[in-house]
């Protein structure tokens, strides 16, 4: 039995929000900038399903991660398939890479994709149960320059969106050759502190001690300040790789801080991990983007060994930060130069067709079809600063004509429908545009 609010009116489920018109301009700006830069950097746009087999995420993200253990929305279909609403985008990108034969094409393969993801967690500012991510994934290249390029791309998007006070937190967690010794040292450090750990970290201590460094619980976060750090346990290959990444960032002039305790909350990460944060005047930070290498994920999901690097932007978090920093969004809405006025049901029918003909011919036309009074419609046209009014009444509908009125002079002329487009174009070239008195069609 489904649960619904006690009140009579339906509400959006907890942690799932409407994106209303006043905020849409930020979303539009985000998608325009991110897609343009992604294509410039050589990324191909893809889309993956919102629903995937649950095992894809269990195998890819790690059984003991918070997402898999506590946050994933799952369902069983009538046919017996066990599916999940995707809790992140990377695993789906890897599945698409393998299933569609991209592994057999010249490498690297670069994907850009975005959309909603779902995690059942306590909603808070910038963190919802349905939220949106934009993801950048590169397959088939292990060179450190790809790490730097992904970071550069995401950082550039945030700058293009008008955000300031950004910095990059970066670390290397090494690979399977480095982990045994580092994990052993972590266990030695935490062994006497297990009673002080939160419930989840007590499990992590046994299963994956690296993830204790990602815990946000106050006591656990305090303990990690003196914990061993991963950079000290890198082998030569991982050390040289990370050194090159930092040198590339230096060459680009990107602001970064080496954070030796930065790890990611998913098990598939290797070597480079990063976050891009915004720092406010109070000194607190908001993570807007994150990512890193996942060189083992493709093989974990059934492919051959394939190096990979990626990063994602939390779209809601970015938009909240744009609003906090009062980023100005300029909307290029066409100026109303022609206003379509109608009177009577027959005229309304004809007006719909004429309205669409103007659109096909690239002429922006405004209207107020819900109003019946010609006087009221002309008043709206005047407030919008329209230069021409096209008036269609009962007589004009029957005659196949329209009255073309110049708003400023009041001069008007009856024009046959077949000549209206050409005549409007001719008049618009002769008349200087007027300034509008309001920005929408509402009185």
Average of per-residue pLDDT values in the chain = 87
pLDDT attached to residue 439:
47
Q: Token digits for 14?
A: 């907890």
Report which of 371, 142, 161 is spatially closest to residue 241, judged by C-alpha positions.
142
pLDDT in tens, 363-381: 889 888 877 788 888 888 8
pLDDT band at 278, cuts 50/70/90? very high
pLDDT tens-place string over residues 90-138: 999 999 999 999 999 999 999 999 999 998 877 776 678 999 999 999 9
**Euclidean distance between CA atoms 376 and 382, whole angstroms:** 10
Question: Would you state the pLDDT for residue 198?
Answer: 84
Binding residues: 88-90, 119, 133, 137, 264, 268-269
Express each pLDDT in 184-213 by its tens digit. Answer: 888 888 888 788 888 878 877 777 777 778
Residue 442 clears pLDDT 50, i.e. is over it: no
Residue 111 Cα distances to 48, 154, 309, angstroms: 11, 14, 11
Give the pLDDT confidence of 325-344 residue by residue, as tens digits: 999 987 767 788 899 998 88
Q: Edge-to-edge strand order for the sheet containing 365-367? A: 365-367, 338-342, 388-392, 401-406, 412-416
Which domains, ranges and CATH numbers included, belong to the chain? Answer: 21-178+234-324 (3.30.930.10), 338-430 (3.40.50.800)
176 contact partners, CB below 8 Å, separation of at least 6? 270, 296
How high is the pLDDT of residue 69? 60
Which pLDDT belongs to residue 33? 95
Which residues neighbour 143 within 8 Å (Cβ) at sequence distance 6 or greater?
Answer: none
Binding residues for L-histidine: 88-90, 119, 133, 137, 264, 268-269
pTM, two decimal places? 0.83
pLDDT at 284: 67
Q: What is the pLDDT of residues 127-172, one digit of tens each?
A: 789 999 999 999 999 999 999 999 999 999 999 999 999 999 999 9
């Amino acid at each position: 039995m489904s649960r619904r609010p006690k009140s009579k009116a339906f509400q959006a489920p907890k942690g799932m929000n409407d994106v209303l018109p006043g905020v849409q301009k930020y979303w539009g700006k985000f998608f325009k900038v991110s897609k343009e830069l992604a294509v410039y950097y050589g990324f191909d746009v893809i889309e993956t399903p919102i629903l995937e087999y649950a095992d894809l995420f269990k195998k890819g993200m790690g059984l003991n991660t918070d997402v898999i253990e506590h946050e994933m929305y799952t369902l069983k279909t009538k046919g017996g398939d066990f599916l999940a609403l995707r809790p992140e985008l990377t695993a789906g990108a890897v599945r698409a890479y393998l299933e569609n034969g991209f592994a057999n094409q010249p490498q690297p393969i670069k994907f850009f994709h975005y959309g909603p993801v779902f995690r059942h967690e306590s909603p808070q500012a910038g963190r919802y149960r349905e939220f949106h991510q934009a993801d950048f994934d590169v397959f088939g290249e292990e060179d450190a320059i790809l790490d730097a390029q992904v970071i550069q791309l995401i950082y550039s998007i945030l700058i293009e969106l008008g955000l300031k006070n950004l910095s990059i937190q970066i670390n290397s967690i090494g690979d399977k050759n480095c982990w045994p010794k580092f994990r052993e040292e972590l266990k030695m450090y935490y062994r006497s502190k297990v009673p002080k750990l939160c419930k989840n970290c007590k499990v992590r201590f046994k299963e994956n001690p690296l993830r204790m460094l990602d815990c946000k619980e106050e006591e656990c976060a305090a303990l990690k300040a003196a914990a061993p750090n991963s950079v000290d346990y890198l082998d030569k290959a991982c050390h040289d790789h990370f050194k090159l990444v930092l040198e590339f960032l230096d060459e680009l002039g990107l602001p970064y801080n080496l954070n030796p305790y930065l790890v990611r909350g998913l098990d598939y990460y290797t070597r480079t991990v990063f976050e891009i944060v915004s720092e406010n005047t109070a000194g607190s930070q908001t993570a807007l983007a994150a990512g890193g290498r996942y060189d083992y994920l493709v093989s974990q999901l059934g492919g051959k060994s394939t190096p990979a690097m990626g990063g994602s932007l939390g779209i809601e978090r970015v938009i909240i930060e744009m609003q906090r920093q009062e980023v100005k969004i300029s909307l290029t809405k066409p100026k109303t130069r022609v206003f379509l006025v109608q009177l009577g049901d027959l005229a309304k029918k004809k007006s719909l067709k004429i309205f669409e003909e103007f659109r096909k011919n690239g002429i922006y036309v405004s209207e107020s079809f819900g109003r019946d009074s010609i006087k009221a419609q002309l008043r709206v046209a005047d407030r919008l600063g329209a230069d021409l009014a096209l008036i269609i009444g009962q007589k004009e509908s029957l005659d196949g004509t329209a009255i073309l009125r110049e708003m400023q002079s009041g001069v008007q002329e009856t024009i046959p429908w077949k000549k209206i487009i050409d005549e409007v174009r001719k008049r618009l070239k002769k008349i200087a545009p007027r300034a509008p008195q309001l920005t929408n069609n509402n009185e």
